[in-house]
Structure 1
Amino acid sequence: MNKFMDNLGARIAPVAGKIGSNLYLTVLRDAFMMSFPLTMFGSFIVVFNNLPFWPDSLKGTFSELFGNGQNATMSILTVFVTIGIGYYFSKAKDVEAIFGAVVALAAYLILTPFFAIFDEVTQSGLLTLDRLGAKGMFLGIISAFLAAKLYVFLVQKGFVIKMPDGVPPAVSKSFSALIPVMGTLFAFLIANALMVGLFDTNLHDVIYNVIQKPLTGVGTSLPGTMIAIFLVQFLWFFGLHGQVIVNSVFEPFWQTNALDNVELLKKGSSELAKHGHIVTKSFMDTFTVSLGGSGSTLIVLILILALMKKKQYKEVARLAIAPGIFNVNEPVIFGIPLVMNAALFIPWLLAPVVSVFIAYLGFASGIVPLTTGAQVPWTMPVLISGFLATNSIMGSVLQLVQMIVIGIIWLPFLKMIDNTDEV
């Protein structure tokens, strides 16, 4: 068994390493992380404005007074993601990054319709929040990468204006970026003109209907979510950071659904309950990671401390319990160890997948209110995070049920290694 795992790990590691170090996935991950402080601020406003013990009249007042905290952050997340993609892609290519950031944003806005339809009447000169948030997420990602790539290409091919040495650096850099920026934006302007003029539509609606909706539906379905969790656990078993690798692929789907839920909540809790999404960024962080880190191992530590006899496991658990409360569980993964430990392979893979299945059913049945879209920090302790993500005590109850089920799955395996000399 161990030899088989060694061979399998040797085959998987290079593939996972290439995925984890892929430039486009790395840039996308960094772009989302750049927006993290902003989404956390917006999430705080969402939670505060919609606390379950506020009367409806007070919720409306708070929304009017503090709603711009959400509108200026979470509701226009795509703006920050495009900036981040342009910046980090240009930086990776050793090109002036700030111009890569602004050209990516400008290219995205060129493709964005500046009109809205109200009661079948088209009003021009308007830029709606949904275009800058959930509905525009995939177009923002695609256009930002294309714009950054074209801008970098033009710079590296030497299409720049070089100023004399005595010119201030800011002026020199602006002139150096002039031709690459103009060339990039003209290309996007022509593409938008062709789409509007020839097909009487816009790339926002085309990308949203043809790519974003189908992919998001698949990626955030129950099977898609269980596959994502399985891959996280499977990669971690071989010592690869499954969370980083898998999240870089699935994050746009989860964030898009979270933004949708935020906008639905503005219309009322009933709208969120009817049309909201189960699998969001909040769902993945709160009902998987917030149970003790990757693998949801907090209950495992509790069981080791309470029931196991072997000193080596108890020592690891004592050291790991404090960080485990805040969902940092590398001490468990490498201390027991769980990496390449064939005896614990089954519960390590099985428990999180079963747990996320239970969480999905809890939301699908309506027993637990859907996540509001607020992004709860993944370091938030269990039970507290469940309440904050759903604005309901039922979120905490669901986490408790998950932990009990995880404990039941792990218990026979913990007893097995406690009664043998081999781990």
Structure 2
Amino acid sequence: MKNLDRFTEPLIEFGAKLNNFKPLEILRDAFMLAFPLTIFGSITLIIANFPFLSQLIGETNAATLNTMLGPASTATMSIAAVFLCMGIGYYYSKSKDCDPIFGAAIALAAFLLVTPMFMNVDLESGEQLLVSNVFNIDRLGARGMFVAMIGSYLAAFMYCWVTEKNWTIKMPSSVPPAVSKSFSALIPAVLTLTVFLLIRIGFEFTPWGNVHDFIYQVVQAPLTNLGKGLGATILAILCIQLLWFFGLHGQIIVNSVLDPIWNTLTLQNLEAFQAGTPIPNIVTKQFIEIFTVGIGGSGMTLAVVIILMFFCKSQQLKQIGRLAAPAGIFNVNEPVIFGMPIVMNPMIFIPWIVAPVINVIIVYFAMSSGLVPYTTGITVPWTTPIFLSGCLATNSVMGGVIQLVELVVVGICWFPFLKALDRQNVKLEEEAE
């Protein structure tokens, strides 16, 4: 037991510190800012790309519908970096007791200031036309995600630092609050944006030409290439399961670290899906949520709930299954995690760790072999029930089928361990009578 404590105590302490680490908490909240917007964009994208739509309403009508609904996803999902900037600026400033609205506005302005304002347009003649004073949409989405994160933190930090130094213009109390706040933010905004303007000018003399290409080539591309591999994904799932086993919310802790990578990969898939080009990534945010959490919650416990309800004789376990079932259908599994309990229960440690890893490997190779389409980048709420969520995430019924295969695999992994636990509980219940 002492050896176990020596292993678990540092892990629990590290997980707790990581969960309470303020920059990760701010980043997590900032990503959630765009959630309702991306859901709206996802709904319109699903409608516009509904399977067999052209056969149902005709190719011309389907193309017209796509054109009409297209701006909805572009104005929400394709510019996710913009919302991320605003979220980071807002929540960072709020944590420092600075005016969060100005923090959000300054962070967004700083990001746009270092973003290239030109793009090359391919002409029918084969030549390229340089168009100035425009933003390329991909700079505001997947390609600009890391610039948005780094730049927004820096901008919000500078704004709050200058404000805390009291380098602000003070107005008389008779001045309306909105006007007074604007003057208070004037000097912090000017100093912060001046620094970002100098950064933009300085990078024009480098081989990269701008901050975006520098961050993308040096930071973003290597990290996303590492994060989309099977090995890194298995490691992330193992960390999630281990943290949950010791009572920590593994999903939140691990997602706080890896969400920037997974969301970037998701946006890359979305851009390819919208453009009608091959989708590049297997591992994305939706891959993690739909094909792990989407099978009953962290640990894929929907099959566990079914076994408890229908295959266990212990009244305690049956009751836990009945109570956990309604929430489990919508992938909320705290009732079974803390009700069985799963936390710190050595009897179910092996299936708790092994089943999700096996399923991740199965889904990964099912997608890489072409049996199941890749996730399209459409945001599907993690509470969407099994089968439906898989179909929506992949725009194919095979996404739902592979979820059902996962459900069976989890059941096979768990069944002998749950039956052993059941026999133990039945014996205890008989002795208590």
Q: TM-score, normalised by structure 2?
A: 0.94
Q: 1:70 and 1:58 mapped to 2: Cα distance?
A: 19
Conserved? CA contact 2:208–2:214, under 8 Å = no
Q: Residue 294 in 1 paired to residue 302 in 2?
A: no
Q: 1:389 and 1:3 mapped to 2: Cα distance?
A: 45
Structure 1 residues 208-235: Cα deviation after superposition (integer angstroms, max 9, x where no partner): 1111111011112111111111111110
Query: How far off is 1:7 after superposition?
Result: 4.2
Q: 1:6 and 1:173 mapped to 2: Cα distance?
A: 53
Cα 1:198–1:350, aligned 2, differ >3 Å: closer, same or farther?
Answer: closer
Q: Residue 61 in 1 paired to residue 69 in 2?
A: no
Q: Which moved more, 1:118-127 or 1:129-138?
A: 118-127
Q: Residue 241 in 1 paired to residue 249 in 2?
A: yes
Structure 1 residues 35-73: Cα deviation after superposition (integer angstroms, max 9, x where no partner): 110111111111111111211544422221011100110
1:68-87, aligned counterparts within 5 Å? 68-87=71-90
Conserved? CA contact 2:50–2:395, under 8 Å = yes
1:4-403, aligned counterparts within 5 Å? 4-55=3-54, 57-119=60-122, 120-199=128-207, 201-268=209-276, 271-272=277-278, 275-403=279-407
Structure 1 residues 146-198: Cα deviation after superposition (integer angstroms, max 9, x where no partner): 00011111000111011111111111110000000100000000011011135
Q: 1:46 and 1:8 mapped to 2: Cα distance?
A: 47
Q: 2:9 and 2:265 mapped to 1: Cα distance?
A: 36
Conserved? CA contact 1:243–1:294, under 8 Å = yes
**Letter paired with 1:190:** L
Query: How far off is 1:362 after superposition?
Result: 1.1
Query: How far off is 1:199 after superposition?
Result: 4.1
Q: 2:362 and 2:191 mapped to 1: Cα distance?
A: 52
Query: How far off is 1:4 after superposition?
Result: 4.3
Instruction: Structure 2 unaligned segments of length 5 or more: list them.
Output: 123-127, 429-433
**Letter paired with 1:146:** L
Conserved? CA contact 2:380–2:392, under 8 Å = yes
Query: How far off is 1:8 after superposition?
Result: 3.0
SS at match of 1:82: helix
SS at match of 1:116: strand
SS at match of 2:120: strand
Conserved? CA contact 1:195–1:202, under 8 Å = yes
Structure 1 residues 73-118: Cα deviation after superposition (integer angstroms, max 9, x where no partner): 0000000000000000000011111111011000000110011112
Q: 1:407 and 1:312 mapped to 2: Cα distance?
A: 19
Conserved? CA contact 1:286–1:385, under 8 Å = yes
Q: 1:204 and 1:139 mapped to 2: Cα distance?
A: 6
Conserved? CA contact 1:5–1:342, under 8 Å = no
Conserved? CA contact 2:247–2:344, under 8 Å = yes
SS at match of 2:53: coil
Q: 1:391 and 1:54 mapped to 2: Cα distance?
A: 12
SS at match of 2:86: helix
Structure 1 residues 107-132: Cα deviation after superposition (integer angstroms, max 9, x where no partner): 00011001111234322122111000
Conserved? CA contact 2:337–2:343, under 8 Å = yes
Q: 1:82 and 1:215 mapped to 2: Cα distance?
A: 20
Q: Which moved more, 1:282-291 or 1:180-189?
A: 282-291
Query: How far off is 1:5 after superposition?
Result: 3.9
Query: How far off is 1:419 after superposition?
Result: 2.2
Conserved? CA contact 2:308–2:320, under 8 Å = no
Structure 1 residues 274-330: Cα deviation after superposition (integer angstroms, max 9, x where no partner): x42111111111111110000000011111222111111111001001100000000
Q: 2:302 and 2:14 mapped to 1: Cα distance?
A: 30
Query: How far off is 1:6 after superposition?
Result: 4.2
Q: Which moved more, 1:129-138 or 1:3-12?
A: 3-12
Conserved? CA contact 1:134–1:260, under 8 Å = yes
SS at match of 2:332: coil
**Letter paired with 2:120:** I
Q: Which has the higher contact order (CA 8 A, sep 6+)?
A: 1
Instruction: Structure 1 unaligned segments of length 5 or more: list them.
Output: none
Structure 1 residues 230-268: Cα deviation after superposition (integer angstroms, max 9, x where no partner): 111110011101111001111111111111111111222
Percent identity reads 50
Q: 1:45 and 1:250 mapped to 2: Cα distance?
A: 27
**Letter paired with 1:38:** L
Cα 1:200–1:332, aligned 2, differ >3 Å: closer, same or farther?
Answer: closer
Conserved? CA contact 1:5–1:340, under 8 Å = no
Query: How far off is 1:9 after superposition?
Result: 2.8
SS at match of 2:374: coil
SS at match of 1:163: coil
Q: 1:209 and 1:92 mapped to 2: Cα distance?
A: 32
Q: 1:66 and 1:222 mapped to 2: Cα distance?
A: 35
SS at match of 2:131: strand
Query: How far off is 1:14 after superposition?
Result: 1.6
